[in-house]
A and B are shown apart, each in its own frame.
Chain A
Amino acid sequence: MDIKLENRNQFKVGIEADRHLIELRGVSKSYDVAAGKFPALKDVDMQVDAGEFVAVVGKSGSGKSTLINMITGIDTPSSGEVFVASTAVHGMDQEQLAVWRGRNVGIIFQFFQLLPTLTVAENIILPMDFCNTFPVKERRERALSLLEKVGIAEQADKLPSDLSGGQQQRAAIARALANDPPLIVADEPTGNLDSQTSDAVMQLFANLALEGKTVLMVTHERDLTRYFTRSIILSDGVIVNGSEK
């Protein structure tokens, strides 16, 4: 399936459009383990609006990653509904999800996960190649401009292994922005960085939120709370607060 940019909303289900950027309704997820079923999320309801910078916090095993996976379509709920930008994420198959995700969600991982055989610029061009979002001739220019934005334009033609951790994470953020998605999801993006670099990276995310992007971030680090518009605290698969600030 090859979807053009103007068809971005083809998965829109048409209900409550534009009300919240992210909306989870009664989402539960359980996994089969040796001892039976393990409930990772229990009947979660959640909304995030456009432009919010939201932290998802909780102890290990609380369901943070599962919640993020539901929103990005990396995993599907056992029950409940997930809407992102009015698109019913829970109703899509893997192929539809790949295209949708490429266009609508920028994902940033703790270990950066740049493809080691591509240069930094090529890594950023890759999502554009996959989703065919910008004309071929404009892709490199856009990649360079995104690198400029995250402050590592001079590293464009280096391989990821030539970059420091902080630079790699900036490159990963640039890659997440490649297709200009409305939602950025980051899974402990500062977990592998020193505090100074962490602050710089967090500032980048904050700026993105100010520009209107919705940023959802899993983190353990409580001293970063000053950057967030609110936090969602998870415990044993349940949201224990709605909008702590």
Chain B
Amino acid sequence: MLRDLQAARGRMAMMVIAMAVSIFGVGMILSAYTILSREMSRNYLGTNPASAFIELDRVDAALVEAVSQRPGISEAEAGSWVTARAEVNPNEWMPVFLFVVPDFNAAHVSTVNPEAGAYPPSEYTILLEREVLPMLNVKIGDALAIQTPNGSKQQILISGTVHDPALAPAWQEQTVYGYITPATLTTLGESETLHILKVVVSDQRYNIAAIDSTVSELASWLKGQGYVVDEIRIPPPGKHPHQSQMRSILMLLLVFSVMALILSAILTATMIGGLLAQQIRQIGIMKAIGARSSQITSLYLALVALLGSGAVLIGLPLGIVAGRAFAGVVAKLLNLNIYSDAVSAWVYLILLLMGILTPLLVALNPILRTTRITVRESINDYGVSLEKSASRLRDNWFSRILSFDNTLILALRNTFRRRGRLLLTLSLLSAAGAMFMTGINVKAGWQAYLDQAAADRHYDLEIRLNQPVSEEKISSVVAAISGVEKIESWNVSPAALVRTDSLDIVRTYPDGGHGSFSLRSVPLETQLIATPLLDGRWLQAGDTNAVVLNQNAKALFPTAKVGDDIQLMIEGKAATFRLVGVIRQILSPSAAYVSPAMFAEATGQPVQSVNAIRFVMKGHDAQMLASVTKEIERAFAAENIGVKVAISESLLGEAISGHVYIFIFALILISAVMAVVGALGLTSSMGTSVIERTREFGIMRAIGAKSKTILRNVISEGVFIGLMSWMIALPLSIPLTYGIGYLVGYMSFRAPLPLTVSLPGLVIWLSVIIAGSIAASAYPAQQASQLTIRETLAYI
């Protein structure tokens, strides 16, 4: 047998390579999964993240010391933060989030890691998060123009960079993260007083209820000590801001690795089926000279185990290396450091089992079946199944559609000769195709979501002000700007859930970017956002205390129904609203919409004043928008109207795309691995088919077939199989797209991604499968066409 196998070493090598590719694919995905899930936590927890950020009127060293001694508190530290703006080009601004650190060397809660340049920063200089430099295209030693709410524009020297693993990457958030001392803050025009108390609880650090309880007690004590307790931010404990995004990707990786495992088993079964097809006569001869079925079974199982071991030896180390590289790329995209690229032992174990046990399991049945057939059957095997009348209808149909060329009919019918193998090959290719198309469909669904989100926003720019300004003043300033079509007042105020302790607790990170919740006033007749209703109705004239929530805000009130009263904490006071409707708002943070009058009543802000304005421009191209935005900035600056942040459509688009990029990257990479596994499966199947039909090719040549005829025959068969798999993969991809879109969408946006079938995805896979089928069958076809007739007729 070994000599037979030696003679077929090319096929053996291909079988080992195909199994190795499967092990490689699963190994890559699993090792990336284990590295990323561990390192993300390690990065975030390495900063010793605060359990809560309590905003007070003042925080000094004495208070920090006293709080540190409080029961349930293990650490406390003073800090501060300020939202500002950086002028990255003349009159072009980006949001800046400034972390104020009183003593960089003594910082021990929510810390950052020095990267380059000075640390700590000298007076009047700034450290930037390392991802900010490439985003702004600046370097250490450059100056950055920064303007805080109460100050004027100042040039601040960039003295170094830090790595802040607790933040989402700057390019994803389109925000500049800076780190300064209180003295530097003073020069920027703000008060030196620190107002953030960072605390770490001592017990159950990752239990949100326990944190809530401890912080609530601490807040009561602080109030008792005469401090004014404003907003308290309790981020999801122990979780990176992009943990859910990462979880989606990791979950996706796991789902696909399970699928890759199944593909691998199918591929192995296809390969072993092929191997046995080639060996049937030898088995018959061995049995004819006295070998028992058990002896032959053991021989073949040992062979399969040997081949599996070979595949593990090749696929496992390469898969681990590729997984490490993939994890490295993802980590870079998420601004994480990989401190250790060790892969968990269970991954090695799974790959070992997969490489050796799976082939044995899938081989067992065909081996037993083959070794149990009679000597006569095995010796008379010509590698073809007897065609029966059941296929007559199909054959007639083939004949009709291909009446011009019998060689094509031959190729087409050959695809159905070994139905078991055809089924395996089709399963493999269809699964690979379905996964590929699912990847592209989910990407398209995500893109459709983004497009829908953009289409739902019918404005070009939102400007939030440092202080409310009268609507009249804003109108007069804007009236002089020719590029503005219209404006609307969209006041904004932070909101929180009402608690029995009356504390204003929000579930967000220091930068407020993730998990924020706001109350917004909206002109009743507004056309600036789409308001697709999920439940109830939109706001109407005459509503008194009506509120409409978007779906993210509604998730904060899981039991509330339309018609119920809900309470929100606004400006430190509880306000009651009647829930009249729920709208779908894609990629929008939690928001509660009320009428301007209701907003004024809840916040105390005068009705005729405005702290956020939405603009519709006359022209909507990027250049025009940038130019009008600059004009607005100039006009507001001239009138001393302090701009807190200007959110343009392009800024929003870039921030959102940034969150999606990594996801798409993962999907495409996984799809590519699937495609390679599928192509190898087809090559194997075609190789086996050619070997089985060697004698037939001899006959064809004997009756006048040229090499190219045989070449075309085999390649046509490969292409037919490929096309059939495409037709199966297409409907298969739809429920798969729905399932993965649901999973990913729900984890990312609390709403399933829309079911989208991507036409480019279909066409790309069709092209891949045709090209792959041609490539996969070309080698066996070439071999078949080169055989001499004497060789083929002598072939047993």
Contact = CB atoms under 8 A, between A and B. Distances in A.
B707 A94 contact: yes
Interface stretch (A41-49, A83-91, A126-134, A221-229): A126-134
A216 to B, nearest CB: 14
B388 A161 contact: yes
Contacts of A184: none
A160 B384 CA distance: 12
Interface string B694-726: 011001111111110100000000000000000
B705 A102 contact: yes
A125 B410 contact: no
Nearest to A178: B703
Contacts of A72: 702
A123 to B, nearest CB: 9
Contact of A74 (B384, B414, B704, B790): B790
Contact of A127 (B389, B417, B703, B706): B703
B709 A75 contact: no
Contacts of B700: 115, 126, 130
B707 A98 contact: yes
Contacts of A161: 386-388
Contact of A116 (B384, B404, B701, B707): B384
A175 interface: yes
A118 B703 contact: no
Range of interface residues on B (Cβ < 8 Å): 20 to 34
Interface string B359-399: 00000000000000000000000001011110000010001
A98 B387 contact: no
B699 A113 contact: yes
A64 interface: no
A122 B409 contact: yes
A119 interface: yes
A101 B788 CA distance: 14
B301 to A, nearest CB: 32
Interface string A159-193: 11110000000000001101100000000000000
Most central of A1, A98, A122 by chain B CB within 10 Å: A98
Interface string A49-70: 0000000000000000000010
B501 interface: no
Given A118-B406, A130-B706, A74 B387 contact: no
A238 interface: no
Given A115-B410, A118-B413, A161-B388, A127 B789 contact: no
Contact of A99 (B395, B407, B695, B706): B706
B707 A95 contact: yes
Interface residues of A, number: 36
A159 B409 CA distance: 13
A161 B390 CA distance: 13
A122 B399 contact: yes
A213 interface: no
Contacts of B384: 116-117
A103 B702 CA distance: 11
A107 B706 contact: no
Given A69-B790, A126-B406, A115 B696 contact: yes
B706 A115 contact: no
A18 B106 CA distance: 109
Given A74-B789, A99-B706, A116 B407 contact: no
Nearest to A96: B706
Contacts of B406: 118, 122, 125-126, 129
A130 B793 contact: no
A175 B410 CA distance: 16
Given A107-B703, A175-B703, A159 B387 contact: yes
B459 to A, nearest CB: 66
B405 interface: yes
Contacts of B706: 1, 95, 98-99, 130
B386 A116 contact: yes
Contacts of B790: 69, 74-75
A117 B704 CA distance: 18
B409 A102 contact: no
A157 B702 CA distance: 23
B768 to A, nearest CB: 28
B697 to A, nearest CB: 10
A109 interface: yes
Given A161-B386, A175-B703, A118 B409 contact: yes
Contacts of B414: 117
A210 interface: no
Nearest to A132: B704
A136 interface: yes
A103 B416 CA distance: 31
A118 B410 contact: yes
Contacts of A101: 702-704
A75 B789 CA distance: 8
Nearest to B392: A159
Contacts of B405: 129
A175 B704 CA distance: 11
Contacts of A95: 706-707
A129 B122 CA distance: 87
A74 B702 contact: yes
Contact of A117 (B413, B705, B707, B709): B413
Contact of B387 (A75, A117, A130): A117
A130 B707 contact: no
Given A74-B793, A116-B384, A162-B389, A98 B705 contact: yes
Given A102-B705, A129-B406, 11 more contacts: A1-B706, A75-B790, A94-B701, A94-B707, A99-B704, A117-B384, A117-B409, A117-B410, A118-B406, A125-B406, A126-B410
20 contacts: A74-B702, A74-B789, A75-B789, A75-B790, A98-B701, A102-B703, A109-B699, A109-B793, A113-B696, A115-B699, A116-B384, A117-B384, A117-B387, A117-B416, A118-B410, A119-B395, A126-B406, A130-B703, A161-B386, A179-B704
Interface of B: 384, 386-389, 395, 399, 404-407, 409-410, 413-414, 416-417, 695-696, 699-707, 709, 788-790, 793
Interface of A: 1, 69, 72, 74-75, 94-95, 98-99, 101-103, 107, 109, 113, 115-119, 122, 125-127, 129-131, 136, 159-162, 175-176, 178-179
